[in-house]
Structure 1
Amino acid sequence: MARRFIRRRKPPGSPGKKRRSPGPEKNAPPSLQASVLKVLAGQDEPMNETEIAQALHLSRHELFPLRAVLGYLFEHRVVEKKGRRFALAAGLERLRATLDLTSKGYGYAVPEGEQAKGGKDVYIAPHNLNGASHGDTILVAVTGSSRGRREGRVMQVLRRAFTRICGIFTASGAGGYVTPDDDRFPATLLIRRGDTLAAGDGMAVVADIVDYGSERQGPTGRIVELLGDARAPSVQIRMAVIQAGLREPFPAEVEAEAAGLVPVTTCTGDRQDLRHLPHVTIDGETARDFDDAICVEREGEAFILYVSIADVSHYVRTGSAIDREAYLRGTSVYLPDRVLPMLPERLANDLCSLVPDQNRPAFTAILTFDATGRRTGERYTKSLIRSRQRFTYTTVNQILYLHDEKARTAHGELVPMLEQARALTALLKKRRIERGSLEFNIPEPEVTLEGEKVAAIRLAERNQAHMLIEDCMLAANEAVAETLAKVRRPVLYRIHEHPDPAKLESFTDAAKALGFHLPQAEVNPAWFAQIIKQARNSPTEYIVNNLLLRTMQQARYSPDNSGHFGLAAPYYLHFTSPIRRYPDLVAHRVLGALLAGHASDSARPVPGKATDLAEAGLHLSQCERRAIDAERNVHARCSCLLLMDRIGEIFAAVISGVTAFGLYVSLDDSYISGMVPLTGMTDDYYLHDSRRYRLIGEASNRMYQLGDRVLVRLEQVDLAAKRLSFSLAPQ
């Protein structure tokens, strides 16, 4: 006979678990929590429920959700209770911060005042986000700590970062919804009928967020732009630009200001005429903005290096419309089908660009070196130059290193100067390597588009002409940094701190697993240089260089000079690319003020009265990070598009990472990355040896280790997640 189970109600007063205040996520929208906290934050005296309800204009039926919120906040020590009155908890640390939300739902916030100082972030659990999204400026209450990390709760969203998203539209009878392209935005966006802009099902779109919603109801929005087919490279690149929040068209006032600038074609004031020198530019084939030119002379055994940089500071005055926009952008961003420049085209490709056979204003570093490559003197001047030739890396490589007679004959007048540049830079490089400067060899993937198709992804060619120019630029950057440091002029240095000890330990384990003999010496740049040298031209060179790069701290901009670990340089800043990097423009302004005899505090090198160099360094480091992330995002999207129709094909690859979840692999030639998930390795039960970076089959003893060569079969291309999944093919 079937038995019936009846839940019996406990009699009053019977023992049981203490009832917890229900989480507000079940009883009230996060917007109510934020409103309550905002009201309490603005009061000097505690408030009771009625007073809070009146301040929030709540109706009678909203009193129960209010009571639930107050109970939840009290239980989590965000507010304190005095009789029947509530106030923010005494001593509760409140911080203004920016939320970095992960795809797993939890977040981190680094308080604004501590970011420039490298302060530790605050962990925010999913149930403490209070409706905040990635990138939002938030008010955080620090509620405790765990394992040395502060934990907190979002009290209030001060400014929304996401006001517009891009994604894929799905039509429905009531209108439809947009699935965000960025998995850090936590919900799909409801689009009501009439707000779809006649988008087709599956189309990529841009939508404005009209209402951020609540816990009970998701956000709503309206479509403002139709992007088109999500499988088109141009559409995917545009989606990456929007996701990164990069600035696209220049404001009208910026374009108008640029159009009104007057070209400098003659020497006036303190500007020195250097048009007699055979300056040349050396760049890639597709470059359009030429911001550096070089010339090398000999004086007996000594060398004179002229590094002439576009004088952007002459045209871009601090606080002007162009300057404010350049500061917001921070850097130019280079993508396969477009450039998002820091400066308007009128400046970047015309007035400032050191094009051949045209008079151009420059800022020249005149550096002297002895026969060993040791710098013996430096002088700086505003100048007027006239480039003799727009060289490419390919042509200079043919002239100097391949000794191509046709190329040498075609540029016969400039060959002697180039030969002197080669001799000097060989000495400069030798000295850098001897002091421990790291020579990473990490190929950069280059995407080739043919119409609306990704034709190929290959490694960008890098030859000795690239290194010649790099050595000249490094010499100028170091000289300017040392000059400004010694006279104590506030400027933005390019600093690179010592590696994190925990990451260093992981690297040594990986290097040992790859069979490398680690130097028995102090861990300094020379220590790393020896490992790079061991790996050079070996099958694991790419892996070792990548592991080393991950071990390093990220280089950043700071007014406090702590040296550059990777270059083994006590003084370093960016001076040589002011057309595409704002910190270089800062260095130009500071050096220019020094040459003009102005006091260090007489001119602002960055816009805004309240903007100091520490804030500027943080902002510009973030701009650089955002640009790098956007470029990687585009590469991941293009990798998916390239392989989308090649499911089932087998590729040669190298194991670039080993985790408890599977193997990361990089495909030969293109260095496209993907994963072999452990769930797909069904031929055995694999154990993860984390110290030796390998998986070992329990029954077969088959081993897959970091650096191993493997064959992999493409199983899945997930364009929405920008993810490639592989399986191991028969080896």
Structure 2
Amino acid sequence: MADKTFEERKKIIYDFINDPRYVPMKQKELAIILQVEKKDREELNRVLDELLSEGKISLSKRGRYGKAEIKKVVGVYTSHARGFGFVSVEGEEQDIFIGENDAGDAFLGDTVEVVLKGYAGKRPEGVITKILSHGLTEVIGTFDRSKNFGFVVPDNQRINHDIFIPLEKIGPAVSGQKVVAEITDYGKGRKNPEGKIMQILGEADDPATEVLAIMLAYGIPTEFPERVLNQAERVAKPVSEADRAGRLDLRDEVCVTIDGEDAKDLDDAVSLRRDGDNYVLGVHIADVTNYVQENSALDHEALDRGTSVYLADRVVPMLPRTLSNGICSLNAGEDRLALSCIMTIDGKGRIIGHTIAETVICVNRRLNYTGVQKVLDDDPEETALYPELVSMLKEMAEVSALLRKRRRKRGSIDFDFPETKVILDEKGYPIDIRPYERNTATRLIEDFMLAANETVAEDYYWQAQPFVYRIHEKPDSEKMSRLGTFIRNFGYSLHTAGDEIHPGEVQKLLDKIAGTPEEAMISRLTLRSMKQAKYATDCTGHFGLAATHYCHFTSPIRRYPDLQIHRIIKENLRGRLNGDRVVHYEAILPEVAKRSSELERRAEEAERETVKLKKVEYMEQHIGEQFDGVISGVTAYGLYVELNNTVEGLVHVNSLKDDFYEYDEAGSELQGARTGKIWHIGERVRIRVKGTDRLCRTIDYELLSEKDME
């Protein structure tokens, strides 16, 4: 075998081991039979190791090499617009890659049986051998009718076939309408899936229809059941004397809400006073559990929704508006029931004591971020509107700064991304898109809510009561290693201790890149290198906040985990968290945490999709216009450019006519083969809007040379 290439040796050994007459044997026995000399034993090991990694042979516990075992797994198939796909298996971190020719007739969302056949790089590769069940029963898309039949072109680009609609199943649908089609036949081979029109959503180019289609695609409910609405009406009674009984009365405490101008569900209020050298900070949260009883219709509906969903043109609340905008909203001048976390904070920002109590409050004033910021900036007109609150607001800013400084000192990470604010007209068309402004006022509320969340979590951790925590696991060492390699191209580094990284090192990196052209790109890449935060019953800490204890306590109107832990806290305060109730919560909380995490992901994806849609709709109105931007990403197929208004688009590599550009992955740049011109991240450019695609939610730009510019 000495004169053979590595691949030839692999084939010889593979064929030998897979011969029907072969009996499993150890490496030494293989070497003797194959007449491999001692000097070539290392090469034999390399061949055997690669065949093992590809899944083409097996190795027993006794060290004998044999035929590859047929490994079958069951998972959920996700197709890709380019034809290939992936199967996710519960409990496995890596998805299985499915080539276009190995997917068979599998449809997006199908539960399938997969035979593993090796590895595509480091990712396992398989063949779908059986479809066990279909996960997707309806498709949303645009209807196109011909004389004798119709088709639904799916909105979801992962569905690789149009849905054929027989004439008798079209109903009143006409071309150009957005529809919901039920799949009646999933198709085989070249035969398209078949379906029938179940619902007409509206005209495809109507912005409200587009958002409704996104909601239905993600399974976000559009209406509350009648029994839920009726129950909300029955329980939404004004606060009575009986409601106030046994509660800590804080109605004389100066208390304010600080929210955005357009907020309607005001579920948190804050108060602050001096106590000698210390501050007493009150975070008062609407006592939603007083109105949403466990196992009621309201409770089941809230659990099914998991969270309120904030889409570009509407809010889909977790609870009916009778509650979220009514009795559970901390409206100024009205008695409201609350669950309060009252913290004593010293001059160094340390929380040195706290009380958690059922309270009754009366908000003195509804404030907004813009107005509070003006007060903090000593704006005379704004200050004159509520002079009695100016001193407290300035002290709040001081306490906020103390809390933030202490949090940063321990290593908390602050990703200060410019979030997108979409301004719509009365019909839902975007008339402006701009970065959402963060200022001292918005950070003030963030800091106070974080302090309350940490305080409550730590209290219940040490009480060893069943609870729902908000956790953020340490990032994967391999991902952080890749990030470290990438940022070295820009002269930055990440210090790790073995495979561990401290969140403070990440914050140091963010501080270093602040204000640089590559800030946005490295910040996003850093965020993608981390794991997603989720809900859990075990308190394993929050990496991003560098917090050992953390939960979500401050928004029971819009997050089910907050509602759930309010229930636990109140039972504990009332001495009712006995053995039976502990057993009850230990039984239900793991599923509450899991389901809430999944529904949170769903809401985030739907929210991102609507913002992407509105960006496309907005840029449709500006095709042919020029804008300044910065290169935010470089790939083999082109340059991503982000405009000052946060709208990102692609300059396709084929549109760069001045040269043939090759992609340098290590440097994340495109380099001209003839001119040597380099396009890199952070470079400021001027572009013209070339085109948009609503279905794909993409925007195309073209770069302008100096002579092209106006």
* TM-score tier (shorter): 0.7 to 0.9
Counterpart of 2:552? Answer: 574
Give the Cα–Cα distance (whole angstroms) in 2 for the partners of residues 667 and 419 of structure 1: 35
Counterpart of 2:170? Answer: 196
1:663 equivalent to 2:636? Answer no
Counterpart of 1:413? Answer: 388
Q: How far apart are residue 332 of structure 1 and its match?
A: 0.7
Tell me, what secondary structure is at the counterpart of 2:271?
strand
Contact kept in structure 2, 1:318 and 1:606, CA below 8 Å: no
Q: How far apart are residue 435 of structure 1 and its match?
A: 1.0
Q: How far apart are residue 91 of structure 1 and its match?
A: 8.8
1:544 equivalent to 2:522? Answer yes
Counterpart of 1:433? Answer: 408
Counterpart of 2:593? Answer: 617
Q: How far apart are residue 324 of structure 1 and its match?
A: 1.4
Tell me, what secondary structure is at the counterpart of 1:413?
helix
Contact kept in structure 1, 2:244 and 2:360, CA below 8 Å: no
Counterpart of 2:650? Answer: 675
Q: How far apart are residue 176 of structure 1 and its match?
A: 1.1
Tell me, what secondary structure is at the counterpart of 1:448?
strand
Q: How far apart are residue 178 of structure 1 and its match?
A: 0.7
Counterpart of 1:597? Answer: 575
Residue from 214, 218, 231 that aligns with 1:257: 231
Contact kept in structure 2, 1:441 and 1:542, CA below 8 Å: no
Residue from 513, 516, 525 that aligns with 2:489: 513
Q: How far apart are residue 272 of structure 1 and its match?
A: 1.8
Partner amino acid for 1:439? Answer: D
Give the Cα–Cα distance (whole angstroms) in 2 for the partners of residues 577 and 456 of structure 1: 29
Give the Cα–Cα distance (whole angstroms) in 2 for the partners of residues 155 and 246 of structure 1: 33
Give the Cα–Cα distance (whole angstroms) in 1 for the partners of residues 80 and 326 of structure 2: 42
Q: 1:621–1:159: structure 2 CA closer, same or farther, 3 Å change rule? A: farther
Give the Cα–Cα distance (whole angstroms) in 2 for the partners of residues 535 and 238 of structure 1: 40
Residue from 158, 161, 167 that aligns with 2:141: 167
Q: How far apart are residue 504 of structure 1 and its match?
A: 2.0
Contact kept in structure 1, 2:496 and 2:502, CA below 8 Å: no
Contact kept in structure 1, 2:113 and 2:132, CA below 8 Å: no
Partner amino acid for 2:627? Answer: F
Q: 1:359–1:643: structure 2 CA closer, same or farther, 3 Å change rule? A: same
Counterpart of 2:371? Answer: 395
User: Which runs of structure 2 are paired with 1:299-698 in the superposition (5 Å)?
Assistant: 299-399=275-375, 401-452=376-427, 453-516=429-492, 523-599=501-577, 602-603=580-581, 612-668=588-644, 670-698=645-673
Over residues 427-472 of structure 1, what are the superposed CA-to-partner deviations in whole Å (9 max), with x where a residue is unaligned? 1111011111112210111111124432111111221100000010
Counterpart of 1:50? Answer: none
Give the alignment's Cα RMSD to 1 decimal.
2.8
Q: 1:192–1:639: structure 2 CA closer, same or farther, 3 Å change rule? A: same
1:705 equivalent to 2:680? Answer yes
Tell me, what secondary structure is at the counterpart of 2:438?
coil
Q: 1:148–1:551: structure 2 CA closer, same or farther, 3 Å change rule? A: closer
Q: How far apart are residue 209 of structure 1 and its match?
A: 2.4
Contact kept in structure 1, 2:469 and 2:550, CA below 8 Å: yes
Give the Cα–Cα distance (whole angstroms) in 1 for the partners of residues 182 and 413 of structure 2: 46
Counterpart of 1:140? Answer: 113
Give the Cα–Cα distance (whole angstroms) in 1 for the partners of residues 557 and 128 of structure 2: 40
Q: 1:510–1:653: structure 2 CA closer, same or farther, 3 Å change rule? A: farther
Partner amino acid for 1:282? Answer: I
Number of residues paired by the alignment? 636
Q: How far apart are residue 98 of structure 1 and its match?
A: 3.9
Q: How far apart are residue 119 of structure 1 and its match?
A: 4.3
Over residues 607-631 of structure 1, what are the superposed CA-to-partner deviations in whole Å (9 max), with x where a residue is unaligned? 9x9x743333232122111111111
Tell me, what secondary structure is at the counterpart of 2:283?
strand
Q: How far apart are residue 350 of structure 1 and its match?
A: 0.8
Residue from 80, 83, 86 that aligns with 1:105: 83
Counterpart of 1:286? Answer: 262
Give the Cα–Cα distance (whole angstroms) in 2 for the partners of residues 438 and 233 of structure 1: 37
So what's the TM-score if we normalise by structure 1?
0.81
Contact kept in structure 2, 1:142 and 1:153, CA below 8 Å: yes
Partner amino acid for 1:723? Answer: T
Give the Cα–Cα distance (whole angstroms) in 2 for the partners of residues 329 and 363 of structure 1: 23
Q: How far apart are residue 160 of structure 1 and its match?
A: 4.0
Give the Cα–Cα distance (whole angstroms) in 2 for the partners of residues 605 and 283 of structure 1: 38
Q: 1:287–1:158: structure 2 CA closer, same or farther, 3 Å change rule? A: farther
Contact kept in structure 1, 2:70 and 2:115, CA below 8 Å: no
Tell me, what secondary structure is at the counterpart of 1:538?
coil
Give the Cα–Cα distance (whole angstroms) in 2 for the partners of residues 360 and 90 of structure 1: 65
Over residues 30-70 of structure 1, what are the superposed CA-to-partner deviations in whole Å (9 max), with x where a residue is unaligned? xxxxxxxxxxxxxxxxxxxxxxxxxxxxxxxxxxxxxxxxx
Over residues 195-248 of structure 1, what are the superposed CA-to-partner deviations in whole Å (9 max), with x where a residue is unaligned? 333333223222232333333532222223333333332222122212222111
Contact kept in structure 2, 1:590 and 1:605, CA below 8 Å: no
Give the percent of matched residue pairs that are identical in Structure 1 and Structure 2. 37
Q: How far apart are residue 93 of structure 1 and its match?
A: 5.2
Q: How far apart are residue 539 of structure 1 and its match?
A: 3.5
Q: How far apart are residue 144 of structure 1 and its match?
A: 5.1
Q: 1:142–1:662: structure 2 CA closer, same or farther, 3 Å change rule? A: same
Q: How far apart are residue 647 of structure 1 and its match?
A: 3.0
Tell me, what secondary structure is at the counterpart of 1:473?
helix
Question: Which deviates the most, 141-150 or 633-642?
Answer: 141-150
Contact kept in structure 1, 2:473 and 2:531, CA below 8 Å: yes
Contact kept in structure 1, 2:228 and 2:301, CA below 8 Å: yes
Contact kept in structure 2, 1:133 and 1:184, CA below 8 Å: no
Contact kept in structure 1, 2:109 and 2:134, CA below 8 Å: yes
Q: 1:125–1:327: structure 2 CA closer, same or farther, 3 Å change rule? A: farther
Counterpart of 2:39? Answer: none
Q: How far apart are residue 410 of structure 1 and its match?
A: 1.5
Counterpart of 2:180? Answer: 206
Over residues 90-129 of structure 1, what are the superposed CA-to-partner deviations in whole Å (9 max), with x where a residue is unaligned? 996554x4443333334434444x2xxx744444445555
Contact kept in structure 2, 1:265 and 1:359, CA below 8 Å: no
Q: How far apart are residue 334 of structure 1 and its match?
A: 1.0
Tell me, what secondary structure is at the counterpart of 2:397?
helix
Q: 1:489–1:141: structure 2 CA closer, same or farther, 3 Å change rule? A: farther
Q: 1:538–1:257: structure 2 CA closer, same or farther, 3 Å change rule? A: same
1:239 equivalent to 2:213? Answer yes
Unaligned runs of 5+ in 1: 1-17, 19-75, 78-88
Unaligned runs of 5+ in 2: 1-14, 16-54, 57-67
Give the Cα–Cα distance (whole angstroms) in 2 for the partners of residues 160 and 606 of structure 1: 34
Give the Cα–Cα distance (whole angstroms) in 1 for the partners of residues 189 and 182 of structure 2: 20
Contact kept in structure 1, 2:236 and 2:323, CA below 8 Å: no
Q: How far apart are residue 374 of structure 1 and its match?
A: 0.6
Q: 1:328–1:200: structure 2 CA closer, same or farther, 3 Å change rule? A: same
Contact kept in structure 2, 1:330 and 1:342, CA below 8 Å: yes
Give the Cα–Cα distance (whole angstroms) in 1 for the partners of residues 703 and 200 of structure 2: 40
Tell me, what secondary structure is at the counterpart of 2:235?
coil
Partner amino acid for 2:693? Answer: D
Give the Cα–Cα distance (whole angstroms) in 1 for the partners of residues 223 and 582 of structure 2: 27
